[in-house]
Structure 1
Amino acid sequence: MELIWISAAYLTGLLASRLSFPPLVGYLAAGYALNALGVAPLADLNHIAEIGIELLLFSVGLKLKPASLIRREVVSVGGAHLLMTTLISALVFFWLEQHITGGLVLGVSLAFSSTVLAIKVLEDNGELSSLHGRDVMSILILQDIVAIGLLAVAERKQPTQWALALFLLPLLRPLAHRILAASRSSELLLLLGVTLALAGGVAAENSGISADIGALLTGVMLANHTKINELTDRLWGLKELFLVAFFLQIGVSDLPSQEQVFQALQLLALLPVQGALFFGLFLFAGLRARTAFVSTLALTTYSEFALITTRAVVDAKLLPAEWNAVISLAVAGSLAIAAPLNRYSHVLFSWFEPFLVRFEKKTGNPDRLPESFGVAEWLVIGMGRTGVSAYQALSAQEQRVVGLDADPTVLENLLAEGRRVVYGDAEDSELWSGLRLERMKGIVITVPDVETRLLAIAQLRKRGFKGQIGTLCYHYEEEQELKRVGADYVIHPLVEAGNQLAKHMLGVGN
């Protein structure tokens, strides 16, 4: 039985990827197809899915900066969206004069966005640490916190007095960091990560709140440790495998009838309204149209949380049982629609940019772009370890250099060290169209995503930039493509490391 489910997930995921869809679309289809064929679901499929979500939220917590939850755009956009949706839901179900309590709970839960999809898309695109990625993630966390109370209403349960104690977990950081430092082997590091994620989930469930919140807070407890990147890398493959079960189990519920399919399609037709509301609120908060657009696409889905609340209100006899199938199909449909849209979010924005930028505020943008690089003659795009090394090498040669990065935390740390850095996203076409680059002798591009490197180089050459462009490639087939769009120097980091190591050793030998 396990072979059937795993094989079906692989084949449909492969087909989806061949059709330029994310594999998760195939996993959703596999769940419905196996259900329609009468294949019995795996006994522990739901439990495996829950573990996958906990590992995902734990990984997010490792990179989360709690202060990001207090950002103006997070509170104003996330809070206003929930309040407005609650008001609309209350009016609609009051007008219908039936199932008011269950309908209201369900209506509010449909205002929540899919945490799994949004974070997975941001992670796959390398945007989890970007400004819009942090805003999206923080709004999702805000929604999850509100969801705790909503689920208590739906299930008529209340968190225990120990629930607030979970928010003290980050105070155990010194002890957790010692344990993490002592886990030197890869196997122990992986086991520690899984243990802490599940421990946080169990503690949260015993306190009467969502296990996801407990896993998230446990991740926050470990944040900022030097081994975080290594721990995240170890968890990545395991987390992805367990998340396959989450997408499969959506299709395991009862197959919808023709009438229920029509109701689900009506709910899907309301998604653009939710998206328009998010977009308007982001603009009102002062974000640029591009940031608002890509953030909106990530949030314009129905949440997996709606599946949980629907079961709760149906079990409480507050809604008819057929709503389980309707909401399952609506959630699955929203994920299938949103996944490819998010994959091409930057391309889509470039199509609609002339129209959308008319609505943005012209001043006070927290994501404003630099107007110039001053007297700098060298630009380093992507201030990770490689970018910082390039910055330091140029500075050591007394060159005027400036760094550019889309991660607010990276910028904050580098500015504190006295480095000259500015905010900017290399995928943002507006960044290049408004900058004066005449002073620039050369640009070093070290961002990890090859598509971003290709786009940035193409934009620079399109702007008429005549200086040198140097970048990285991790696969030999990327080198020709990078040079084709305009790169002058392309190096393979691992190959270069081997060459330098050999040269140093030969020099020592002589």
Structure 2
Amino acid sequence: MHAHPMQDVLVLLALAVVAVALLRRAHLPPVLGYLLAGILAGPHGLGWIQDSAAIEFMAEIGVVFLLFTIGLEFSLPQFLAMRHTVLGLGGAQVALGTAAGAGLALWHGVSWEGAVVVGGALALSSTAIVIKQLADQLELHSRHGRAAVGILLFQDLAVVPFLVLIPILAGDGGGSMWWPILLALLKGAVALAVMFALGRFGLRPLFHEVGRARSAELFTLTVLMVALAAAWITNQLGLSLALGAFLAGLMLGETEYRHQIEADIRPFRDVLLGLFFITIGARLDVFQLPDIWPLVLGLVAFLVLGKGLLVAVLARIAGNEAGVAVRTGMVLAQGGEFGFALLALAMQHDLFSPATSQVVLTAVVISMALTPFLVRYNGAVAKQLMQGNYLQRRATRQQEIAEATHELEGHIILCGYGRVGQNLAKFLRDEALEYVALDLDPTRIRNARDAGERVFYGDSTHRDLLEAAGVSRARALVITFDNVNAAFQILARVREDNPTLPILVRTRDDTYMEELSSAGATEVLPESLEASLMLATDLLLTLDVPHGEVMRLLENARSSSYRQLRGLFTGVELGEGDKTPTTSERLHTVILPGEAESVGRHLGDLGLEERGVLVTAVRRGGIRGEEPTPDLELREGDALVLQGPSEQLEWAEKRLLSK
């Protein structure tokens, strides 16, 4: 009698809890726990769970949600800026990797049709493991992280032609292979156009309407619907589910709802992604290992060493530094989940034997199990391997910076020398204040150095370069670029060496103000709020408001961490300058009816401020009073202007209007 599917799910969850808990204590990545659970419980292990279409489908949805959150992380301009990496570097890697893998398969007696599929499977890397590990290590937006993501995106796109090609190689295509491939590419272009059109003209109005309902449940349901609908659209066009989810995330990443969407989708993603890794482990037949282990070890070496070297060489040719190229190669030195899809389809068409499939499958699973270690220690290994190049260049830069700044005392360190950094430098020069700037754009640095400015090539997140710039002797440090992950890393490095150094952090909005302040930022300056202050300053001075009064208003706004500016009345449509994430504070007006219990009570007795809700003003009889005191007695018809997060505002409204 076949076990109920719920039994398989419970077994998987129990094994995952135990395995992940044990590996956490050993400070090992949880991905290994999921793989181990799958190996033990799978049909080739203890046999506690059998092949289940339902579990396989849920696991695939986990990858869909992963790609959806990746799309949220990348803005559309950033994605377009990566097109050379995606098409150039990614295309070269897939082409050469497929050729090398196919050659290896031919050498071991696989037919040329099957060898092409084996080569394609080996050319693909694990999007799920690599991106999750890079994100956990805050390396997703590093140079090697961006290069790896670009290559992975092309690999995901390359799956489509391979899936079209396999039936043709098996003799089921009924003619030339070029027309089906061209048709697949045409479908891909249609999918891109459809997703971009829906994203630009449909998603933001949809979420505005959902946001007006003020229902967390409705918001979460809408997020799930959009992610899965986008995946379904691309799947209907013959493309991968994950591609549609990525495009939907890319579109929503341009909206003000990005952070709330990411928070809502994360629990579903993590649970289902864990299930995906379990299904990968379940594919491994450990009882065949004694017979095939030499071939498996050779293929694992090919993936880890050969593929890693190929990616590193291509990344170096593409213009990356040697150290960055090595780190990129290590990150992508494994097989991937989409390779399993190619192998399964090829097996259905008898393109190679089950024995060959098990060798490739086992090698890919082992390489994926090694991936968390390769990603975690990619920096340390690169330093050891490239001591004569990578470390020498870094040591040379460190020495150059140290020699140029060793006499400086009380200077300012500028992390980033783009528009904001250069404008700050102009003000510092006008006041005869010394500064040192670190940036990663060689052309910008060369031009600035030719003009006599103290600007150096260097990654501000590296402690040794900050020490060379004299962080222990500096008067202040300013993070001028808008990269929250890098800002957190810089704050951690600097606070270990100089706990009292004033650090100013530039951000796009107020989303991470509290987190950055807790991490050690002295001041967090959101561009959107500062723009409001500057506009207000010019307006008030134009209206002949005394300069001292204007300065007092500005000081009050900044000293309260922009509290009075962070609330916003939300409407059906928001302007470009009014974007605010759903987790930010909002303004909402509540008018008290005569039967409300709060009428006749003092404002301070309602406990609103303890729940994070501030009453910024009260309008009574056509007169508006700002910042009411706690002893204000509320009356019928009073209009209270509330400020706080959406959920707290909903509670406060019920509290005020309850009868």
What TM bracket, shorter-length normalisation? 0.7 to 0.9
The 1-side partners of 2:392 and 2:167 are apart by 42
**1:138 maps onto 2:150 in alignment:** yes
Q: Give the alignment's TM-score, normalised by structure 2.
A: 0.61
Residues 187, 145 of structure 1: alpha-carbon distance in 2 compared, 3 angstrom cutoff: same
Matched residue SS, 1:443: strand
Alignment of 1:332-343 (within 5 A): 332-343=365-376
In structure 2, what is the equivalent of residue 262 of structure 1? 294
1:137-184 superposed Cα distances (whole Å, 9 cap, x missing partner) = 121111111221012112447466644311111122122111122222
In structure 2, what is the equivalent of residue 298 of structure 1? 331
The 2-side partners of 1:162 and 1:447 are apart by 37
The 2-side partners of 1:249 and 1:406 are apart by 41
In structure 1, what is the equivalent of residue 21 of structure 2? 14
In structure 2, what is the equivalent of residue 170 of structure 1? 196
Residues 235, 425 of structure 1: alpha-carbon distance in 2 compared, 3 angstrom cutoff: farther
Moved more, 97-106 or 428-437: 428-437
In structure 2, what is the equivalent of residue 240 of structure 1? 270
In structure 1, what is the equivalent of residue 283 of structure 2? 253
**1:456 maps onto 2:468 in alignment:** no
Structure 1 residue 427: deviation in Å?
Answer: 3.8
Q: 2:128 aligns with which of 105, 112, 116?
A: 116
In structure 2, what is the equivalent of residue 66 of structure 1? 79
Determine if contact 2:118/2:343 at 8 Å carries over to the other structure.
yes
Residues 283, 499 of structure 1: alpha-carbon distance in 2 compared, 3 angstrom cutoff: closer
- The residue identity in structure 2 corresponding to 1:319 is F
- The residue identity in structure 1 corresponding to 2:299 is L
Alignment of 1:12-411 (within 5 A): 12-35=19-42, 36-41=45-50, 44-64=54-74, 65-71=78-84, 73-96=85-108, 98-156=110-168, 158=180, 162-168=187-193, 169-172=195-198, 173-184=200-211, 185=214, 186-253=216-283, 255-256=285-286, 257=288, 258-270=290-302, 271-357=304-390, 377-379=411-413
Structure 1 residue 451: deviation in Å?
Answer: 8.5
Determine if contact 1:59/1:216 at 8 Å carries over to the other structure.
yes
Structure 1 residue 97: deviation in Å?
Answer: 5.1
In structure 2, what is the equivalent of residue 428 of structure 1? 462
Residues 403, 165 of structure 1: alpha-carbon distance in 2 compared, 3 angstrom cutoff: farther
Structure 1 residue 273: deviation in Å?
Answer: 1.6
Segments of structure 1 that go 5 or more residues without pairing to the other structure are 362-368, 408-420
Matched residue SS, 2:205: helix
The 1-side partners of 2:91 and 2:315 are apart by 12
The 2-side partners of 1:52 and 1:208 are apart by 20
Structure 1 residue 285: deviation in Å?
Answer: 1.6
1:173-210 superposed Cα distances (whole Å, 9 cap, x missing partner) = 12211112222243333222211121122112221221
- Number of residues of Structure 1 aligned to a counterpart in Structure 2: 470
Matched residue SS, 2:477: strand
Determine if contact 2:439/2:456 at 8 Å carries over to the other structure.
yes
1:422-472 superposed Cα distances (whole Å, 9 cap, x missing partner) = 9964443564366466983123679558983576238x84xxx89826599
The 2-side partners of 1:90 and 1:292 are apart by 24
Determine if contact 2:284/2:365 at 8 Å carries over to the other structure.
no
- The residue identity in structure 1 corresponding to 2:257 is K
Give the percent of matched residue pairs that are identical in Structure 1 and Structure 2: 24
Structure 1 residue 28: deviation in Å?
Answer: 0.1
- The residue identity in structure 2 corresponding to 1:66 is F
Determine if contact 2:40/2:282 at 8 Å carries over to the other structure.
no
The 2-side partners of 1:285 and 1:44 are apart by 43
The 2-side partners of 1:152 and 1:498 are apart by 60
Residues 490, 134 of structure 1: alpha-carbon distance in 2 compared, 3 angstrom cutoff: same
- The residue identity in structure 1 corresponding to 2:351 is L
The 2-side partners of 1:422 and 1:191 are apart by 49
The 1-side partners of 2:310 and 2:368 are apart by 19
The 1-side partners of 2:331 and 2:153 are apart by 14
The 2-side partners of 1:450 and 1:221 are apart by 25
Residues 192, 406 of structure 1: alpha-carbon distance in 2 compared, 3 angstrom cutoff: farther
Structure 1 residue 54: deviation in Å?
Answer: 0.7
The 1-side partners of 2:404 and 2:365 are apart by 45
In structure 2, what is the equivalent of residue 366 of structure 1? none
Structure 1 residue 9: deviation in Å?
Answer: 0.5
Residues 86, 500 of structure 1: alpha-carbon distance in 2 compared, 3 angstrom cutoff: closer
Matched residue SS, 1:331: helix
Q: Give the alignment's TM-score, normalised by structure 1.
A: 0.77
Matched residue SS, 1:11: helix
Structure 1 residue 508: deviation in Å?
Answer: 5.0
The 1-side partners of 2:371 and 2:403 are apart by 33
Segments of structure 2 that go 5 or more residues without pairing to the other structure are 1-6, 174-179, 395-400, 442-454, 506-511, 525-557, 564-608, 617-625, 630-659
Determine if contact 1:250/1:328 at 8 Å carries over to the other structure.
no
Structure 1 residue 280: deviation in Å?
Answer: 1.8
In structure 1, what is the equivalent of residue 583 of structure 2? none
Residues 262, 371 of structure 1: alpha-carbon distance in 2 compared, 3 angstrom cutoff: farther
- The residue identity in structure 2 corresponding to 1:117 is I
Moved more, 179-188 or 302-311: 179-188
Residues 3, 89 of structure 1: alpha-carbon distance in 2 compared, 3 angstrom cutoff: closer
Determine if contact 2:280/2:365 at 8 Å carries over to the other structure.
yes
- The residue identity in structure 2 corresponding to 1:129 is H
The 1-side partners of 2:464 and 2:97 are apart by 33
Matched residue SS, 2:295: helix
Residues 10, 402 of structure 1: alpha-carbon distance in 2 compared, 3 angstrom cutoff: farther
Structure 1 residue 306: deviation in Å?
Answer: 1.4
Residues 3, 154 of structure 1: alpha-carbon distance in 2 compared, 3 angstrom cutoff: same
Matched residue SS, 1:127: coil
Residues 207, 340 of structure 1: alpha-carbon distance in 2 compared, 3 angstrom cutoff: same
Determine if contact 1:346/1:427 at 8 Å carries over to the other structure.
no
Structure 1 residue 75: deviation in Å?
Answer: 3.7
The 2-side partners of 1:349 and 1:314 are apart by 38
Determine if contact 2:102/2:118 at 8 Å carries over to the other structure.
no
1:313-362 superposed Cα distances (whole Å, 9 cap, x missing partner) = 1111111013343333222211221102312333333444523428989x
Residues 297, 254 of structure 1: alpha-carbon distance in 2 compared, 3 angstrom cutoff: closer
Structure 1 residue 474: deviation in Å?
Answer: 11
- CA-based RMSD: 4.6
**1:4 maps onto 2:11 in alignment:** yes
The 2-side partners of 1:500 and 1:224 are apart by 24
1:15-52 superposed Cα distances (whole Å, 9 cap, x missing partner) = 11222211011100000011211202455211111101
Larger radius of gyration: 2
- The residue identity in structure 2 corresponding to 1:139 is I
Residues 204, 403 of structure 1: alpha-carbon distance in 2 compared, 3 angstrom cutoff: farther
Determine if contact 1:130/1:406 at 8 Å carries over to the other structure.
no
Determine if contact 1:22/1:339 at 8 Å carries over to the other structure.
yes
Higher relative contact order (CA 8 A, sep 6+): 1
Determine if contact 1:444/1:470 at 8 Å carries over to the other structure.
yes
